Structure 1
């Protein structure tokens, strides 16, 4: 294939030729509009002297109008993309031309002046002729462009009928690269059925998807990104699956208008259709957190993130960068992870100072140096060992990193007069059945105890499993699907709370801004999701039928529970200023009590696994009860434990009591 390179000279010549042609077209229209103005003025019986006046004035009137129209850049735009703003510009140019011509005629022409009615008619006719012709050009372009689409085009159905989807439908129709024709819309409002949006009909509501697909031979169902909740999107997916139709995601109109969408050679948006991802079918609406006040905490501050190279830590860093801190200190012990996140953040760092620090949070001397050198003001502590089965095999390492590491960083934050310290915790800390869960509960205890005597606002943030984080079930299932199966699930009734990585990261920032010290913040994550249902969703997203990939149940792994809880039996969930964030009002722990427990653990971290577990059971009594419940689950299956969960109380729903200020949870602290 021969590649022809077009240089700046050729481009300039092409533009100049286009302007010349447009100027000629405008001159023709100006001459016609002036002639029609004379004709209308004299009822199409133009006197001889008026003919003479027309011939004498047409040249300078057309030249003057052409000059004015050029100066206001009226005929620089593409006629096929004419908009109301172009028509407004035409009105301004015609009005200005009328005023200039009238003044010119009045000042310079002493005899046989042009009748004022002719000038007024000429201006109105110019608007009508030029506006009408340009609008007709666009109308013809938009009407015939779909007919130019290949005969093997794909029929598309768009979910939602509003201004945004109407504009997107228009762009899809005009984009031949997509080879797609929009047949109609469906909308949740049944009253819209039968109405037209941009000449495209609304064919039904969300319950009619399967019928519409069959009737109109739809090939693709298109949904605008982030416009539907997970439960509603799942219903549409199921109807598409029954009809063997593909569901695609298209970018919102805001993305097109923000310049994030690339343009083709004719200046038309290139709309990228993408497949569904797991965030699209999250079984609840994604939580949108209120970030007001976060900027006051972060803007112009020196902020540290430990575990900055991990899934949560790196996303926290990305979110922090949007609030323009003075500097961002990245603490990570894995060199490659630190290199990747530092390189990513530097691309749009602007004036923010990025400081990468290779360090282990258990290394007190190294961490002290980092705090001192960088004048840290805010700390987000995400560094932790999180994998439950792995920590069952290495309990001493879990204690060193999750407990002693947290103690080290928290103590240094207190000594350095840090404004706020936020610990990233987990729902596995509630009635923990695993070593990992126990260590995170001990970290929560230490943070609470520390808050009683420190000027630093110590808070913890507790959430469930994070969709798509490193080594979570999502990438594991996706890899198993790529290999053709089977998907391995530990138990058919295994349930977990899920949230997205951005949700988890924003929750951490929001909690740090809301907290007065001593709180454990919990996100309302809706209903827990069965892991097997998540596996089925991923199979569908991959474009396969659930029967095509085998799901194998392998049995529960050491330390796992059938379900997770968000708060302990003695805790209550109390609302705070954000409707989707709650505070777990927990049993107070004294600093001496927690310090003694951690000192006991520090002595046994290098002992045998059984000795370490014995010590953990002495310190965290819930660990013993959880182990007993696990043994019941293994003996009796899932029915007893699930019955306990659903029959006693709903563990993720907050009580009806309401508080507006969480400072009452920690009476020793004044509200900051």
Structure 2
């Protein structure tokens, strides 16, 4: 409150100062034009013109100030003045001088005709000088103030975004000690030229060279239109310097040049993954979700909660969130209540292992669509608790599928994983069994059962980047299981996009797979995150290799050889053909596996899993 009052007082003082300055300049311009008409000799100016000038002072001043006020000459922030403000000054001065001519002509106070033109020119120059003088002085002060402590900035990109950004940096009172010292651009035609007095020194190949030469502290990536591939390649070069990295996020709409310092953000490791995000056909999603009752199991988890966010925005008749963990379910419930107060959201606590609880939910709400996201997913934990993986992933999915079939659900979409392909761990094997359950149910049910398979989800609970960040915050070391381990990665919104799109495409029995580009080395992710956190690998922070965990592969696969690949309308989403298996004895083995899991018989449970999933080959890594 105090700051607001202080700001208002300062604004009022500035306006009063501008008005007083304008009064002097308005009348000074007329007087100067008058004596110039008579060869800069006051004595030679006829007495009648002196009298007309004196009589004209008050009305001309009042009229001109009113015109200036109408042109908002006292409302602009002149420290940010640009060519647009200059145009406004010219327009205001021309109108003022025309008004001057009209008033003096009407009142019979005419000065020599040449005075009106010259006084108009003088007024434009005087107004421009008075408005831009503050900005000029500020820039000069910033230029030579704290020279030894200046933050030296390199900007990548020599387009409109850079020009606007440089103006913002130059004018910002919060960046008095910051200075753009060089610019990089891949357009050889621009190299050697200047933007706002700063030289474009070279292409991306010269980033490291000039970062050292100019002793750069911060690099700003300012190419809003850059492709993901170019952005990744340039940022990969930048991270090899010791500079802090910032980026203009998204594709900027350069309307009115509205780029602000607050729009800059630190470069995130996601910027270095190098793959365009998957886009979803929103209209097709709205078509099959709108006015439907939708059930999301595991609705409080990382994937489930994002599903709920996107689904509720498409106006389902009712969204049922079902989760065993009450804290997560409560969080997403409250979030949706605030954002979508009119949405019909029901939050229920329960376990997919409990058939009677599921029966009551399906009987009461009769969902049209089920997204099955509830599962145990942590590979190492499931290796030491295989019975729980069977109970939750296999038996739970079996239970939900039975209810979906019994109560006539139209679409059933199950979340699977790339670890289900040729699994070497219990978690992956249970997910493969879930896919087999879905496939077998689809053949005998009116419900369209499909599975969605994707890789590691960045930002989800238990994903590698939050772990790395915690380790870096704790001072290290950052732990990587193996220097050559690689994984496919996707973001939570991408994962949910795939799930939603699968629901739109689902005809029954498909396994949908996202084209996630090239796999990424976990070791590279760790190194990138260390550098982006401002540390030097091997000096401030170490990487410790701990060895592969039980059941962990060096690489993951998205398809088994037998599945092949079929395209969809979305070129980044593919369908794997169902693999045939012995369905006659499948459920007999499933019953035996269930009994063994509930009997807490973990000694031979892996052998039983192998009987169900012949592609499962458990291994213990040293």
TM-score normalized by structure 1? 0.78
Work out whether residues 156 and 223 of structure 2, in 8 Å CA contact, stay in contact via their aligned partners in 1: no
**Structure 2 equivalent of residue 56 of structure 1:** 55
Post-superposition CA distance 1:274-309 (Å, at most 9, x none): 4x5432332x23424245324445566654432233
How far apart are 1:63 and its partner, in Å?
0.7
Matches within 5 A, 1:72-91: 72-90=71-89
**Structure 2 equivalent of residue 660 of structure 1:** none
**Structure 2 equivalent of residue 239 of structure 1:** 240
Aligned match for 1:147, one of 144, 147, 156 = 144
Post-superposition CA distance 1:259-287 (Å, at most 9, x none): xx99xxxxx8557764x5432332x2342
- Give the count of matched residue pairs: 611
1:29 and 2:25 are equivalent in the alignment: yes
Work out whether residues 221 and 247 of structure 1, in 8 Å CA contact, stay in contact via their aligned partners in 2: yes
How far apart are 1:72 and its partner, in Å?
4.4
CA distance in 2, matches of 1:506, 1:149: 50
CA distance in 1, matches of 2:355, 2:35: 94
1:165 and 2:162 are equivalent in the alignment: yes
**Structure 2 equivalent of residue 362 of structure 1:** 353
**Structure 1 equivalent of residue 416 of structure 2:** 425
State the secondary structure of the residue aligned to 1:74: coil
State the secondary structure of the residue aligned to 1:536: helix
CA distance in 2, matches of 1:327, 1:20: 60
Matches within 5 A, 1:293-332: 293=283, 294-297=285-288, 303-320=294-311, 328-332=319-323
- Cα distance 1:496–1:39, how it changes in 2: closer, same or farther (>3 A)? same
CA distance in 1, matches of 2:153, 2:542: 31
Post-superposition CA distance 1:234-274 (Å, at most 9, x none): 6425631xxxx23322444979999xx99xxxxx8557764
Work out whether residues 80 and 171 of structure 2, in 8 Å CA contact, stay in contact via their aligned partners in 1: no
1:621 and 2:614 are equivalent in the alignment: yes
Work out whether residues 168 and 253 of structure 1, in 8 Å CA contact, stay in contact via their aligned partners in 2: no
State the secondary structure of the residue aligned to 2:135: helix
Work out whether residues 459 and 519 of structure 1, in 8 Å CA contact, stay in contact via their aligned partners in 2: yes
How far apart are 1:567 and its partner, in Å?
0.5
CA distance in 1, matches of 2:593, 2:270: 39
Matches within 5 A, 1:336-355: 336-355=327-346
How far apart are 1:100 and its partner, in Å?
5.9
CA distance in 1, matches of 2:29, 2:319: 65
How far apart are 1:398 and its partner, in Å?
1.7
1:508 and 2:499 are equivalent in the alignment: yes
- Cα distance 1:189–1:111, how it changes in 2: closer, same or farther (>3 A)? closer
- Cα distance 1:114–1:358, how it changes in 2: closer, same or farther (>3 A)? farther
**Greater mean alpha carbon deviation, residues 187-196 or residues 549-558:** 549-558
Aligned match for 1:248, one of 245, 255, 260 = 245
How far apart are 1:195 and its partner, in Å?
1.9
CA distance in 2, matches of 1:234, 1:447: 43
How far apart are 1:384 and its partner, in Å?
0.8
Aligned match for 2:570, one of 578, 581, 590 = 578
- Cα distance 1:567–1:43, how it changes in 2: closer, same or farther (>3 A)? farther
How far apart are 1:184 and its partner, in Å?
1.1
- Cα distance 1:586–1:192, how it changes in 2: closer, same or farther (>3 A)? farther
How far apart are 1:599 and its partner, in Å?
4.8
TM-score normalized by structure 2? 0.83
**Greater mean alpha carbon deviation, residues 532-541 or residues 57-66:** 532-541
Post-superposition CA distance 1:515-541 (Å, at most 9, x none): 444432222222223333333334434
**Greater mean alpha carbon deviation, residues 37-46 or residues 451-460:** 37-46
Aligned match for 1:532, one of 516, 523, 529 = 523
**Greater mean alpha carbon deviation, residues 169-178 or residues 330-339:** 169-178
Matches within 5 A, 1:487-566: 487-548=478-539, 551-566=543-558
State the secondary structure of the residue aligned to 1:546: coil
- Cα distance 1:30–1:567, how it changes in 2: closer, same or farther (>3 A)? same
Matches within 5 A, 1:394-433: 394-413=385-404, 420-433=411-424
**Structure 2 equivalent of residue 185 of structure 1:** 183
**Structure 2 equivalent of residue 391 of structure 1:** 382
1:130 and 2:127 are equivalent in the alignment: yes
Work out whether residues 446 and 591 of structure 1, in 8 Å CA contact, stay in contact via their aligned partners in 2: no
- Cα distance 1:67–1:176, how it changes in 2: closer, same or farther (>3 A)? closer
How far apart are 1:71 and its partner, in Å?
3.7
Work out whether residues 161 and 222 of structure 2, in 8 Å CA contact, stay in contact via their aligned partners in 1: no
- Cα distance 1:468–1:52, how it changes in 2: closer, same or farther (>3 A)? same
1:67 and 2:66 are equivalent in the alignment: yes
Post-superposition CA distance 1:22-81 (Å, at most 9, x none): 222232333234445667888878655444433333321221221233244331222111
Unaligned 5+ residue runs, structure 1? 263-267, 638-672
